[in-house]
Structure 1
């Protein structure tokens, strides 16, 4: 189903939503407490600046509040410099997810997003449909379930996005979801479309590699990791990229 983009403006900001999914979206949708009162808050992590699983009229969704990471988080927290609605983090990710869906790539389905103006700054939220019965690649690794076959599937997944010119700003094992049917990439904050080029594609792959090693994929040694996981991943990546 094609996205039907609509914008609803108010005194403090605006909501961008897909009318094909739901036209009922209002400010209350972006407040975890709303869903708690309704008995529809299934899970929440990280407090107000985190992620909530909510049971909405559009189905089970993920509500994510944008928050800075790293050193700048101490100063800015969840505030971003206002440069216009079209340059907000939430509008950019919402529209990128729409493009990903239109290309038939496996990513989260965008439902709605919101920004709220705070003088020279803004805060933002995003709602996507939850991918059911999924585990992260990091969870599979921790459970000892990441093998060469799964590594190949991950390589194919990344190659499909790279071939379409989709750059993921934080490609790591936590942002790869695995279900019994297929794999997905999630969290496209700061992601964008780029002309396919080996430079950024290889840098993206190396970011994923560092994530896997950091999470213990090379616990038996670099050589074992290369043979058992990384070479299968690259083999399938290269074949899919050039298919």
Structure 2
């Protein structure tokens, strides 16, 4: 049984839709204005690329792929076409779907969009189910005890044992949700060989997470950065499995 459906739209647009949502999907879902008051910007101070959406079937997050840094001066939201299946949105959708099927703690994908643009460029967006009451690690530092940081480490190890390489594993992409650790934003993430330990990409993930934690204000934390990180590494060393 297929877990997604591919659809074509106007002007060469392509969509990949989860089977759970395919019965009600409308390409207008990718237009924030079509939702009216049911769409709210995720971060008014950001680049305007993400929206919380209240859909008939539940709460969603709509995210447009946008560049940051120096590349944004060349093109804010257009990418070089290398095939629909390899587009940012379709690749992330497929990776999320595989992780959901394996039981990994990630938001379920709803739909991905690909829009061809002039020349060899395209634009893209993705809809995922929202973890509505989830809080990113930086917003709950003052409440996280040793066992919470151990759970973070064990969860990262779980992803690594499954061969999931997160391209930007930082504190804001790790959420505390209903007593468990979840991970979001798998843009440019990759599926690698499973069951490996100590690889370069795994060390890179951990280093990226540690650098992001260094930038936070730890004054309200009951542990402090050094102790928290020791528990992350201890949890990681314990091995995979749901915390």
Q: What TM-score, normalized to structure 2?
A: 0.89
Deviation of 1:50 (Å): 1.5
Given that residues 15 and 26 in structure 1 are in contact (C-alpha distance below 8 angstroms), is that contact kept between their aligned partners in structure 2? Answer: no
Asked whether 1:167 is paired with 2:165, we answer yes
Between the aligned partners of 1:7 and 1:242, the Cα distance in structure 2 is: 33
* Aligned-CA RMSD value: 2.2
Tell me what 1:5 maps to: 4
Where does 1:144-159 land on structure 2 (aligned, <5 Å)? 144-159=142-157
- What's the CA shift string for 1:34-63, capped at 9, x where partnerless? 011xx3224443578411111112211000
CA gap 1:242/1:22 in 2 versus in 1, 3 angstroms:
closer
Q: Partner of 2:54: helix, strand, or coil? A: strand
- What's the CA shift string for 1:167-221, capped at 9, x where partnerless? 100000000110233110000000011123412111111110000011134x69x
Tell me what 2:132 maps to: 132
Given that residues 3 and 98 in structure 1 are in contact (C-alpha distance below 8 angstroms), is that contact kept between their aligned partners in structure 2? Answer: no
Q: Partner of 2:14: helix, strand, or coil? A: strand
Deviation of 1:23 (Å): 2.4
Given that residues 155 and 241 in structure 2 are in contact (C-alpha distance below 8 angstroms), is that contact kept between their aligned partners in structure 1? Answer: no
Tell me what 2:216 maps to: 215
Between the aligned partners of 2:109 and 2:43, the Cα distance in structure 1 is: 20
- What's the CA shift string for 1:62-102, capped at 9, x where partnerless? 00011012211121101101111111000000000001011
Q: What TM-score, normalized to structure 1?
A: 0.89
CA gap 1:56/1:40 in 2 versus in 1, 3 angstroms:
same
- Unaligned runs of 5+ residues in structure 2 are none
- Unaligned runs of 5+ residues in structure 1 are none
Deviation of 1:149 (Å): 1.9
Moved over 6 A (4+): none
Between the aligned partners of 1:42 and 1:51, the Cα distance in structure 2 is: 9
Between the aligned partners of 1:24 and 1:153, the Cα distance in structure 2 is: 37
Q: Partner of 1:183: helix, strand, or coil? A: strand
Q: Partner of 1:105: helix, strand, or coil? A: coil
Tell me what 1:31 maps to: 31
Given that residues 155 and 240 in structure 2 are in contact (C-alpha distance below 8 angstroms), is that contact kept between their aligned partners in structure 1? Answer: no
Tell me what 1:115 maps to: 114
Deviation of 1:24 (Å): 2.2
Q: Which moved more, 1:81-90 or 1:144-153?
A: 144-153
CA gap 1:3/1:162 in 2 versus in 1, 3 angstroms:
farther
Where does 1:1-243 land on structure 2 (aligned, <5 Å)? 4-10=3-9, 11-36=11-36, 39-46=37-44, 49-119=48-118, 120-141=120-141, 144-195=142-193, 196-198=196-198, 199-217=200-218, 225-226=225-226, 228-241=227-240
Deviation of 1:145 (Å): 2.2
CA gap 1:224/1:24 in 2 versus in 1, 3 angstroms:
closer
CA gap 1:181/1:146 in 2 versus in 1, 3 angstroms:
closer
CA gap 1:242/1:57 in 2 versus in 1, 3 angstroms:
closer
